[in-house]
Amino acid sequence: MEIDSSFGNFAGNAQGGSSPGQSDFVTFLQMLTTQMQNQDPLNPMEASDFAVQLATFAGVEQQTYTNQLLATMIGQTGLSDLGGWVGMEARIYGGAHFSGTPIELTPDPALGADEVLLIVRNDNDEIVDSRSIGPETQSYLWDGQDAQGNTLPDGTYRFEIESRLDGEELDTQPVAAYIPILEARYQDGVTMLVLPGGLFVESAMVTGLRRPADPSEAEMP
């Protein structure tokens, strides 16, 4: 049985192309060719049957490609919107990178506390600074120094506050910091924000967004 040369051309085009699902399409053509070569010569399949198989696969392939294209467009739209975040400051829990520049924190002491302690931990979860702040403090500029007034080395630090009343601990909560956004990336279906110090965080983790603040407006120790 003679095979139409257009099948070979079609397979060659599929192998040379770069559209999604091309490897599946080449596999389908190979299976179709094998099916044609091994069919019963006394009862061959009708050409229309092959055409139906080809049309069915092409329809599924096109739908898959359309879905992938739509997903890509949605992701690019979200990334375009986040492009406006670059240069802004994001309020994020989980720590911040210190490199000599004070970091603005947003503590939220427990209601009724008469004493609040700011605790700073390094990458090894060691306490490197502990200081008292006002019970009503909502914005605090951490200067990067330890209890002895020595500037701490560059690195990532985490912050928490311990609220007390009459010497008794009420609770301990993490503290968010305002961190500059250097870049926004769409990666593995998730929009990631690039922060100073090579830190990455998902955009969904941002709890606030603002233009760079004037450091003089925050409380210094």
Give the pLDDT confidence score for residue 20 in this predicted structure: 46
Domain map of the chain by residue range?
A: 5-83, 86-217
Note the pTM of the prediction, 2 decimals: 0.59
Give the pLDDT confidence score for residue 30 in this predicted structure: 76
Q: For 140-170, what is each residue's pLDDT tens digit?
A: 999 999 989 999 999 999 999 999 999 899 8
Give the pLDDT confidence score for residue 192 in this predicted structure: 86
Give the pLDDT confidence score for residue 176 in this predicted structure: 95
Give the pLDDT confidence score for residue 184 in this predicted structure: 86
Look at residues 147, 160, 153, 148 and name the one whose alpha carbon lies nearest to residue 105. 160
Spell out, as residue ranges, where the chain has pLDDT lower than 70. Answer: 1-26, 28, 45-82, 213-221
Q: Which CATH number describes the domain made up of 86-217?
A: 2.60.40.4070
Give the pLDDT confidence score for residue 203 in this predicted structure: 84
- As a whole number of angstroms, the distance between CA 117 and CA 113 comes to 11
